[in-house]
Amino acid sequence: MILKRIAEAIRRQDWFTVSLEVLIVMIGIFLGLQVNAWNQSRIDRADEAVFLQALYQDVLELEKNSTQLIELRIEELKAIGAASDVLFGRAPWRDLTEIECDSISTSHSPGIVATSLPSWTALRDAGRTNIVRNGDLRRALATLSQKRESLDRIMGIAEFQGHNLLANHPELFEAKPVRTELNDAPERILLHDGNHM
């Protein structure tokens, strides 16, 4: 319809009408793009709120798990110290406790657990990190992810190169599976574009 009017105006050489019709088309396109941008911004703000809530829950879980791991590692180090005192003659000879034996058998592992924030990982993998408006938070989360990846590599090397007493001297230990008491990650959340976090 508009194209037909523009074509008729060009045949009549009515340049004012042509200019007016083209201007109307351009304004319509501009308004359409603005409405689309506004709508996308509204969706991004809603998704950011969902993400920040999920991130908060991740941080709470991470803090709880980190505290449990630190307490567990302190107990293991105390057990290794007590067992070492017995084994190296700094304390009277006695049979080692089950906890001391378990701690010695896993002493090759540095016991460092890398931090993980599933909500950030999911957002990053989905390519949606731009919904986080706070640049400092975005940079801090990206830095945390990079440090975690580096720590994972270092831990892999340490585990490989460590002196695994359980593997090197299986006759000294009775191995049993260990079950951790760490909390599960929070449920996945659904963003407006249908991606799960």
Residue 58 lies in a domain: yes
Tokens 């919904």 found at = 131
CA 141 to chain centre: 8
Q: The pTM is what?
A: 0.60
Q: Write out the chain's pLDDT in tens, 197 residues.
A: 677 777 777 778 878 777 887 888 899 999 999 999 999 999 999 999 999 999 999 999 888 888 888 888 889 889 989 998 998 899 999 999 988 888 887 777 766 666 678 899 899 989 999 999 999 999 999 898 888 888 778 777 766 666 666 666 677 666 565 554 544 444 444 455 555 55
* Domain span at 160: 47-172
Residue 144 lies in a domain: yes
Residue 158 lies in a domain: yes
Residue 122 lies in a domain: yes
- At residue 134, φ and ψ (nearest 5 deg) are -75, 110
Percent helix, strand, coil in the chain, to 5, is 70, 0, 30
- At residue 38, φ and ψ (nearest 5 deg) are -65, -45
Nearest-5° Cα angle at 181, 176 to 187: 130
Beta bridge partners of 190: 196
Tally the domains of the chain: 1
Both tokens of residue 102? 């378990």
Residue 33 lies in a domain: no
Residue 196 lies in a domain: no
DSSP 94-127: -PPPHHHHHHHHTTTS--------HHHHHHHHTT
What single letter denotes the amino acid at residue 87? L
**195: Cβ contacts below 8 Å, ≥ 6 apart:** 122, 126, 128
Residue 32 lies in a domain: no
Both tokens of residue 152? 């994972």
The SS3 of residue 184 is coil
Residue 148 lies in a domain: yes
Question: Could you tell me where the DSSP H helices lie in the chain?
Answer: 2-11, 15-87, 98-105, 118-125, 135-161, 165-168
